[in-house]
Amino acid sequence: NSSESHNCAKSILTSDRLQIVVTLSEFFNETWEAANCANCLTNSSEGLSNSTVEFLDLFNKSLTCFEHNLQGQTIYLSPNNYTEVCKNCNETYRMLNDLYNNLQRMNRQGGESGHSAHLCIDVEDAMNITRKLWSRTFNCSVPCSDTVPVIAVSSFILFLPIVFYLSSFLHSKQKKRILILPKRIQSNASLVNIQEKYS
């Protein structure tokens, strides 16, 4: 009976004491939501979105570049010297990092999947792995292009109070004050002295 099919399914799913099917279903649904898996898929959830495919392709290229530049070097170089990896994989890593930043911006605005939240866990984990390898394992640091302007502006701002006080000191004239008594006051004082003599 089609009208009783829902009740039938409910009674079958909850027939055991642990309700294992319901518990597993809820667990997988919560994991799917917490991992933002829908953000890696298209709106219709038929497959991976174009941006996710592009990101995973660049991620694989980065790992291949790391492996390729490490072959034969670990024997001759010390573990802390990975200059070849840093030099040869810099462009690939930068492209991957820029794509990840663009995906984050797009995802805040809704993105391809239509869900506005974090990126899916696969993309975030892949980027975390790459950044950890790049910065901690290979110790590759890309110099910030804004360093020189920031130092220049900071120095200028710190130098302004010195310029202000120095210019105010040089432009203000330090004069000694000379007190000039008017003649009338002197005459009054002499009259007082004369009156004192006669009294």
Instruction: Measure CA 63 to chain center.
Output: 24
- What the block records as the tokens of 102 is 């663009």
- 103 in Cβ contact with 155 (< 8 Å): no
| Rounded to 5°, angle at Cα 68 from 123 and 125 | 15
> Mean pLDDT, to the nearest integer, of 23-51?
88
Give pLDDT tens digits for 88-144: 999 999 999 999 999 998 887 765 544 556 899 999 999 999 999 999 989 887 555
Q: What is the model's pTM?
A: 0.60
Side chain identity at residue 85, one-letter code: V
Give pLDDT tens digits for 132-164: 999 998 988 755 566 788 888 888 899 899 888
Work out the mean pLDDT of the chain and round it to a whole number: 79
What residue ranges do the domains of the chain occupy? 1-35, 42-167
pLDDT for position 1: 46
Please provide the DSSP assignment of 21-41 as one string.
HHHHHHHHHHHHHHTTGGGGB
- Beta-carbon contacts of 92 under 8 Å, excluding residues fewer than 6 positions away, are 58, 61, 62, 65
